[in-house]
Each structure stands twice: as structure tokens, then as C-alpha cells.
């Protein structure tokens, strides 16, 4: 580990505001209060979420205080960042359930036992009208319209609720409540994080340093990693699923994933980047290194090598996995004693709808006993499918069996 804490903590960041501010804060000679706010709008964490959590862990490891703010109040509003329309409010019960799952998964990255955890309902839910008016007075409508998403919606005549304008202010008030020295977030949160500095200043506090992390593109190589887009790698996914997904990322993202999702040192990372640029390193080898390293991080040492061996067994040697889950041939998939693959895929949970199943078949993603099928309308009787291994994509297998008795 580098002896320079400023260099370590700024490594991989997109921006530090103000420039040089982190060194000034560290020079105070006391543990800094480092805030990360999360709105538990979804229950599952991905490698995209891990980027900022890993930075929070770096602060922890240097002896600073990690303060995790769970937006059990603000999640009911919904962060409008990057959205073209008002986000629906979440029920308190949904927020609570998602938050619990978040803690369990975040514990794979940060030391939850050494983390100060608050729900911002502690100070926001019971805010009196006088205090709310004071908070609202810290920003102007002109400032709010500096946000690209607000500005474009305003210019296009699409509605913006007053509640959405309050969201950045409530997030900023969180920094007042916990007296944050540093706030972390993705680049899509820059406006909200900077608003925290303004709110702190209005309440007579020394403004926090803002440290933003790059957004991680998903496995499709173009859009932000998201479960709703299906381009994600979940941090709790099984080793084989995680390894296979990482092997599917574009070569152009290898170095970025290595920098943001692993603990490899800067010298080693720079060497990999040079090797890929001059051709002395092979992208396939470096992608395997990435996949092994990430799987080891979340599943323990040796899990990456084991997942790689199983990956090679299936894809290089074209063998089936040693262990394939069995599923009783579902009766609901058959109409007049016949079924078609899209309907079967839905019945066994390998497609979300008949149209999704049809796309998978037509796209060449479906195999029966390793034989690729491309006709979504071909009919099959139960006897045609008993004992058959149904495969979708590169990592999902089911062996169909007959119901006993």
C-alpha cells in the first residue's frame, strides 16, 4: 500500500472538489467523518455499487469513520438524478426491506461493525415547518435548474414536482446532521453532493469535500450497470455466473474494471494497460485475471480458479457441467400434449415472457442436449424432453425430468 494517503484515496476518482481539499482535511490530524448516502430503491448490489463502497472501505482502513446514511426518508421521494420523469414514491415497508438486504450485501465490502449507520428519517421525518422553510431557503430555483435533468424537463414542458427540488436539499441536510467532512458518490450524484456543501455552509459548518467515482458501464459496454438493463454483475451471484459475465465484457473495459473492482496495485495496473495497448498482453488472458480476481474477492481465495476451470469445461471443451439442477417437466407448458420452446422457457423460469423466450430461441441462445435450436414454433411432446438438458445462454442449465409416480 502506498505511504501517501492522499494518493491512495484519490486513486481511481473522477473528481475531488475542491482540488486539494482532501489533503487539507487529512491535515486536520483527526479521523474524518466520511459519508456515503444510499437510497435503498432496489435490494441487490452490483459491481457498479461496489466502486464507491470500496472507496469507503479505503477510508475505513486508514482509520477514518465511515458513516452510511440509508435514505429511509428520502427514498420515499426518490432521487430524480438522470431521470426524465418523476420517480414514484416507495412505501416505507419496501424501503425497510431493501435497506436490510443492502446492509447484508454491503458487509462483503465494508466493515459494517465499524460503520456508523443512520436512517435519515431520524432527522428529516419529524422536521418542523420552520426548519423546512429554513432548509428550502438555502437554494434558488435557478440553482436547481442548473441540473441537466431538471433543465431539460423544464425546457421540454415535462413536469417537475416541488418535492423533487427538495431531494438534493434533504440529502445536503444529511451532511449537516452527521457533520460530514467528506462525501462520496458516483458522478451522477455530483449536483447533490455539491448541494451538500452549500447547505452545510448555510448552517455555519465547514463544507465537506466531495469525492466522486466514475460510473461503471455494464457488460454491454455502453450503458451504466443496472439490474433493470440486464447488464449487471451482482456481488452475491454464484462464482460461475460472475466469472462468465465478466468474461463477456468488451475488451475496452478490462482496465477500467481492474482499476475500479479489484485491489491490484497501481504499478501492476499500469503494466497491464501498457501491455494491452502495445499488444504484449492478450485481452483474453487479462479478462481471465479480472474474472478470477473479482470472484476471489466475493467468494474467497481459490473460487476464481475453480470457476475458471468449470468455465473451460463448458465452453472450451463443450462439456456439460458436472452438476445440473433438475426440474420436473411443467404440465402448464403443454397445450393438447405439445409445447414450444418459448412457452417451455417461461414455465421453467428461463425466460420472462413468451416473446422473451422467442427472442432467445431466434437469437441462437437455446440448446437441447447441446444442440442449438432456432425454430421457436417447433413442437415437442413430453417424451421428447424427458432427460434432456435445456440450456439458455452460456451459463444456465436445467435437466428436465418426469414427475415421480
Q: In the chain, what are the domains?
A: 5-213 (3.40.50.620), 239-315 (1.10.240.10), 326-401 (3.10.290.10)
Residue 379: beta bridge partners? 340
Place of cell 424427458: 386
Residue 323's SS3 state is: coil
The C-alpha cell at 93 is 415497508
Q: Give the separation between CA 214 and CA 146, rounded to whole angstroms.
A: 21
User: Is the bond into 144 cis (omega within 30 degrees of 0)?
Assistant: no
Return the pLDDT at 165: 87
Centroid of chain to Cα 38: 12
Per-residue confidence (pLDDT) for residue 367, from 0 to 100: 86
pLDDT, position 84: 43
For 6, 40, 66, 369, the CA distances from 115, given in Å and listed in that order, are 21, 17, 5, 49
Residue 222 backbone phi and psi in degrees, to 5: -130, -45
DSSP 143-175: HHTTSHHHHHHHHTT----HHHHHHHHHHHHHH
User: Which helix H or strand E contains 213, and what residues bound it?
Assistant: strand 209-213
DSSP H/E element including 392: strand 389-392
Q: In whole angstroms, what is the distance from residue 200 CA to residue 208 CA?
A: 8
pLDDT of residue 208: 97
For the record, the C-alpha cell of 257 comes out as: 474494471
**Chain centre distance of CA 204:** 35
What pLDDT score was predicted for residue 81?
Answer: 52
**Which uninterrupted H or E stretch holds 291?**
helix 283-299
Among 85, 83, 22, which residue's Cα sits nearest to residue 55? 22
> Residue 282: which residues within 8 A CB-CB, separation 6 or more?
none
d(CA 369, CA 388): 6
Cell of 355: 416473446
When computed from its CA atoms, the radius of gyration of the chain, rounded to whole angstroms, is 25
What CA–CA distance (Å, rounded) separates 41 from 90?
Answer: 8
3 state DSSP class of 228: coil
Nearest to 39 by CA among 89, 82, 78: 78
Residue with cell string 439442477: 325
Q: How far apart are the first and last CA of the chain?
A: 62
The grid coordinates listed for 242 are 460472475
Q: How far apart, in whole angstroms, are the C-alpha atoms of residue 167 and residue 80?
A: 8
Name the percent of the chain lying above pLDDT 70: 91
Cβ–Cβ under 8 Å, residues 192 and 128:
no
Quick one: which of 381, 386, 360, 387 has its CA closest to 372? 360
Whole-number Å distance between alpha carbons of 166 and 231: 31
For the chain, the residue count is 405
> Cα–Cα distance between 32 and 47 in angstroms, integer?
26
Tens digits of residue pLDDT in 280-317: 989 999 999 999 999 999 999 999 999 998 888 776 65
User: For 366, which DSSP code?
Assistant: E
Burial category of 242 from C-beta neighbours within 10 Å (exposed 0-12, middle 13-18, buried 19 and up): buried
**Parts of the chain with a pLDDT under 50:** 1-2, 82-87, 405
Amino acid at each position: 500500500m502506498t505511504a501517501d494517503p492522499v494518493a491512495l484515496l484519490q486513486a481511481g476518482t473522477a473528481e475531488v472538489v475542491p482540488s486539494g481539499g482532501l489533503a487539507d482535511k487529512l491535515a486536520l490530524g483527526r479521523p474524518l467523518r466520511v459519508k456515503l448516502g444510499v437510497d435503498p430503491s432496489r435490494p441487490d448490489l452490483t459491481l457498479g455499487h461496489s466502486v464507491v463502497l470500496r472507496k469507503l472501505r479505503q477510508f475505513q482502513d486508514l482509520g477514518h469513520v465511515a458513516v452510511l446514511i440509508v435514505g429511509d426518508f428520502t427514498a420515499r421521494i426518490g432521487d430524480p438524478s438522470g431521470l426524465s420523469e418523476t420517480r414514484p414514491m416507495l412505501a416505507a415497508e419496501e424501503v425497510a426491506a431493501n435497506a436490510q438486504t443492502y446492509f447484508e450485501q454491503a458487509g462483503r465490502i465494508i466493515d459494517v461493525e465499524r460503520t456508523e449507520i443512520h436512517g435519515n428519517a431520524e432527522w428529516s421525518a419529524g422536521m418542523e415547518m420552520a426548519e423546512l422553510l429554513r432548509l428550502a431557503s438555502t437554494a434558488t430555483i435557478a440553482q436547481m435548474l442548473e441540473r441537466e435533468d431538471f433543465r431539460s424537463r423544464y425546457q421540454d414542458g415535462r413536469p417537475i414536482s416541488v418535492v423533487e427540488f427538495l431531494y438534493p436539499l434533504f440529502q445536503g441536510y444529511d451532511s449537516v446532521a452527521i457533520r460530514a467532512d467528506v462525501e462520496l458518490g458516483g458522478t451522477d450524484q455530483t449536483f447533490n453532493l455539491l448541494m451538500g456543501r452549500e447547505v452545510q455552509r448555510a448552517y455555519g459548518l465547514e463544507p465537506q469535500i466531495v469525492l466522486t467515482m466514475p460510473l461503471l458501464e455494464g457488460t454491454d459496454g455502453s450503458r451504466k450497470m443496472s439490474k433493470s438493463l440486464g447488464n449487471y454483475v451482482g456481488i452475491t451471484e454464484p462464482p460461475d455466473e460472475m466469472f462468465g459475465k465478466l468474461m463477456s465484457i468488451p475488451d475496452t473495459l478490462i482496465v477500467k474494471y481492474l482499476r475500479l473492482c479489484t485491489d491490484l496495485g497501481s504499478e501492476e495496473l499500469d503494466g497491464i494497460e501498457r501491455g494491452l495497448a502495445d499488444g504484449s498482453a492478450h485481452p483474453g488472458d487479462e479478462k481471465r485475471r479480472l474474472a478470477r480476481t473479482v470472484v476471489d474477492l466475493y467468494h474467497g481465495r481459490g473460487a476464481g480458479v475453480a470457476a475458471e476451470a468449470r468455465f473451460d469445461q463448458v465452453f472450451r471443451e463443450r462439456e456439460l457441467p458436472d452438476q445440473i439442477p433438475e426440474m420436473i417437466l411443467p404440465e402448464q407448458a403443454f397445450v393438447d400434449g405439445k409445447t414450444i420452446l418459448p412457452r417451455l422457457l417461461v414455465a421453467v423460469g428461463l425466460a420472462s415472457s413468451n416473446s422473451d423466450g422467442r427472442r432467445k430461441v431466434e437469437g441462437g441462445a437455446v440448446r437441447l442436449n447441446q444442440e442449438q435450436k432456432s425454430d421457436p414454433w417447433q413442437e415437442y411432446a413430453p417424451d421428447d424432453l424427458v432427460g434432456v438438458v435445456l440450456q439458455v445462454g452460456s451459463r444456465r442449465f436445467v435437466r428436465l425430468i418426469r414427475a415421480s409416480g
